[in-house]
Amino acid sequence: MNVAVIGMQFGDEGKGKIVDYLASDFDIIARYCGGSNAGHTVVIENKKFKLHLVPSGALRGKIGVLGNGMVIDLQVLREELRELKDAGFEPKIIISSRAHVVTPLHKEMEALEEKVRNIGTTRRGIGPAYETKVKRVGIRIIDLFNQDALTKKLRLISTLWHLDKSNEEIENIAKELSSLGKEFKENVKDTELWLNQAISAGKSVLFEGAQGTMLDVDFGTYPFVTSSNTNSLGLFPGLGIPPKYLDKVIGVAKAYTTRVGEGPFPTEIHGELADMLRNKGNEYGATTGRPRRIGWLDLPVLRYSKLINGIEEIAITKIDVLQNLREIQVGVKYSCKGESFEYPPPFLESCKPVYESLDGWSSMDDEEFQRYLRFIEENISVKIKIVSYGAEREKTMRL
Ligand code: IMP
Ligand code: MG
């Protein structure tokens, strides 16, 4: 059975923990979108790991695949693997020959862009790497193995984006990238062939989503999105496998909502309560350290996410953070331009949430706790199958 684990909100739902928790049931963990903008926090034996490129389940001895739909910063990957090695982990990873490479030029492009218009990106060169890909001037992993051709490609990017690089600068970047390529040569494969063959041979795959549905370039809060299809649909082009191989989609939703970066966030709250939840939930970006914006649970977002991703069950995370609140608000629909909406419209910035208020709980044995879970299930018609109430693996309940 092949399962996708997808973020239902704005990223940071706790996918890393859920993937790690489920990993033992699978042979392969495959990522298909994004790059080192992702920050997946996994706690193993009281040690916290913030993974950006290595698929979370790869720490459990599974094979981690970095699919062609990703944009990969090999320098970050090298650093990440080094840290893991120091902690006693040597994950097995394979990298798609067709994945695109994030180079220093992409980061420079992004810095220039963010000066003119603020999306609040992670500044990991993600958007520009997808930009060069779609413009057909991108650099693929396979291109790292021919330094002369690579130099030409880098020069073309520099020219097209008016980066004004000297020949020497371009040559130095090419040299560094081809040396990184050499380092990872053994890990590079035509992963679409490898994966299809593995699945045909009966191996099971967990598809690890990154970011969240509301950051999806097509269905998120455009233009305040990341530059890839982060939803479950993205995994087919992002890995080169046909839809028939996806058996189930599990959605991961935080018990409240957070967002890092700019963009509409209807259920956002400010002030003391927001600060308290941020501290209790340690809501600071795993990649950038930025404080996350905080808000109540937004059911139209979950409803939409269920629909777009084909979600059949939900893992609710960080439910412990809400414990001991007297009252909890839940956004059940929106009022936008005088009309009522059950799903986020493409003009979410014009929407105000309509709240229902629920009683809080002080222990997970309380009736009110069950009521919160049932309220979510009934409103979006999906069963909650996993409840996570802490970063550690043990703090997970299967329902
Ligand atoms: P980019 O992906 O760096 O281009 O950033 C685009 C938007 O997506 C920004 O608002 C980022 O904060 C957000 N973003 C990107 N990756 C993640 C993630 O893994 N978690 C949460 N937000 C993310
Ligand atoms: Mg994260």
Distance from the alpha carbon of residue 124 to the mean position of ligand 2, in angstroms: 14
Question: How does the average pLDDT of the chain come out, rounded?
Answer: 96
Question: Is 126 close to ligand 1, i.e. is its CB under 6 Å away?
Answer: yes
- The confidence score (pLDDT) of residue 40 equals 87
Q: Is the separation of the CB atoms in 221 and 259 below 8 Å? A: no
Tell me, rounded to whole angstroms, the distance of Cα 68 from its chain centroid.
16
Q: Give the side-chain half-sphere CA count within 13 A for 264.
A: 20
| CA pseudo-torsion sign 54, 304, 290, 138 | positive
Distance from the alpha carbon of residue 131 to the mean position of ligand 2, in angstroms: 23
What residues are labeled active site?
12, 40
Nearest-angstrom CA–CA distance, 138 and 151: 12
Tokens of 88: 């006693």
Percent of the chain whose pLDDT exceeds 70: 100
Determine the average pLDDT of the residues in 196-222: 98
pLDDT tens readout for residues 274-292: 999 999 999 998 888 999 9
Tell me, rounded to whole angstroms, the distance of Cα 173 from its chain centroid.
28
Question: Is 302 close to ligand 1, i.e. is its CB under 6 Å away?
Answer: no
In 219-266, where do the E strands start and end? Answer: 248-254, 257-259
List, in order of start, the domains of the chain with CATH numbers: 3-97+187-249 (3.40.440.10), 101-183 (1.10.300.10), 253-398 (3.90.170.10)
Contacts of 297 (CB under 8 A, 6+ apart): 253, 254, 255, 256, 257, 267, 330, 331, 376
pLDDT tens readout for residues 25-68: 999 999 999 999 998 888 888 888 889 999 988 888 999 999 99
Residue 135: CB atoms within 10 A of its CB come to 13
Comparing CA positions, the residue from 216, 134, 145 lying closest to residue 178 is: 145
Atom number, ligand 1, closest to the C-alpha of residue 262:
10
pLDDT tens readout for residues 129-187: 999 999 999 999 999 999 999 999 999 999 999 999 999 999 999 999 999 999 999 99
Determine the average pLDDT of the residues in 109-134: 95
Nearest-angstrom CA–CA distance, 179 and 351: 50
State whether residue 25 is helix, strand or coil: helix
With residue 124 as reference, give the H or E element that holds it: none
Question: Using CA atoms in the order 232, 297, 282, 234, what is the torsion angle rounded to 10 degrees?
Answer: 10
State whether residue 319 is helix, strand or coil: helix
Number of helices (H), then strands (E), in the chain: 11, 21
pLDDT tens readout for residues 352-396: 999 999 999 999 999 999 999 999 999 999 999 999 999 998 999
What is the DSSP code string of 333-385? EEEETTEEESS--TTGGGEEEEEEEEE--SSTTSHHHHHHHHHHHHHHT-EEE
Question: Is 226 close to ligand 1, i.e. is its CB under 6 Å away?
Answer: yes
Determine the average pLDDT of the residues in 66-84: 97
3-state helix, strand, coil in the chain (%, to 5): 40, 25, 35
Pocket test for ligand 1, best of 17, 32, 37 (most atoms within 8 A of CB): 37
Nearest-angstrom CA–CA distance, 93 and 6: 21
- The confidence score (pLDDT) of residue 287 equals 84
Tell me 290's DSSP state.
P
- The confidence score (pLDDT) of residue 108 equals 97
Question: Is 14 close to ligand 1, i.e. is its CB under 6 Å away?
Answer: no
- The confidence score (pLDDT) of residue 41 equals 86
